[in-house]
Amino acid sequence: MSTYKFITITAATCPAENRSAALVDLGHFAQDCRENGAERVTYGSVISGRYPGALIFVQMFDGLDGFETIMDVIPKSAAYTRMVSTHGVVPFVRNVLRGKDIPFEPKMDPRPNYLMLTRAHRKTLEETEFLSLLAKTAPSFKAAGAQTMRIGHTITGSDIGTYMLGVTYPNMAAIEATYDALANDTAYAKVVSGVEIDMRSIIKVSGML
């Protein structure tokens, strides 16, 4: 699984009555981004965890020049303008993360339906050990049904210095099976004892490009 150098995660509020229409335009904006520098885009809405109902927009880049291009695209995008002016979408956080390597062979067919985001601070683990232990948990995630697994280190925005783990799944049963499997994973036990987890949210994926 390729490791993108940079990941951006944007969250926005949206009135519940406008969410469906906003997600349609978020899909159009995702296409604008794919055509102008983003290597991959995933978007959807939070259904459990922090900020329920918020829209989530995740982009991956091979370099920050791609992110710069997207910032230039935003004021020119008709879809983005509609989201803000018509649908009442208000972005409230945009973080840039540096991607870290986790060996994991992705499965994109069928398209993942859920994205689990988990944020943590390192307490007693150095980064090298933390990432090594996390890599050892990848087979447990994979065997239980996870489809992709990525991690990034927050370098700008809010919560600088934290790590965000993103794992996609085909269904809720796979999420349940993963956490059942991790309960018996010694590497995972070492990870959770060496970090402080302060957020875990489930996003219903509306599209991936």
Tens digit of pLDDT for each residue in 47-81?
999 999 999 999 999 999 999 999 999 999 999 99
Within a domain: 1:
no
Alpha-carbon gap, residue 144 to 147, rounded angstroms: 9
Last residue in a domain, options 74, 97, 120:
97
Q: Encode pLDDT of 96-138 as tens digits.
A: 999 999 999 999 999 999 999 999 999 999 999 999 999 999 9
pLDDT of residue 158: 86
Q: What is the pLDDT of residue 3?
A: 84
> Of 97, 132, 162, which residue is a domain's last?
97
Tell me the torsion sign for CA atoms 192, 197, 54, 43.
negative
Domain that holds residue 86: 6-97
Give yes or no: residues 25 and 80 share one domain. Answer: yes
Domain annotation covers residue 75: yes
| CATH code for the domain of 202 | 3.30.70.100
Measure the CA–CA gap between 25 and 43, rounded to whole angstroms: 11
pLDDT recorded at residue 1: 60
Domain-terminating residue out of 68, 97, 126: 97
Residue 54 maps to a domain? yes
> What single-letter amino acid sits at 175?
I
The pTM assigned to this predicted structure is: 0.95
Indicate whether 62 and 136 sit together in one domain. no
Tell whether 103 and 189 lie within a shared domain.
yes
The percentage of residues in the chain with a pLDDT greater than 90, rounded to a whole number, is: 98
Same domain, residue pair 124 and 136: yes
Same domain, 81 and 124: no
Cα separation of 150 and 101, whole Å? 8
Assess contact for 136 and 190: CB atoms under 8 A. Answer: no
Contact 97, 64 (CB under 8 A): no
22 in the same domain as 122? no
| pLDDT surpasses 90 at 89 | yes
Does one domain contain both 91 and 103?
A: no
* DSSP 8-state secondary structure symbol assigned to residue 73: H
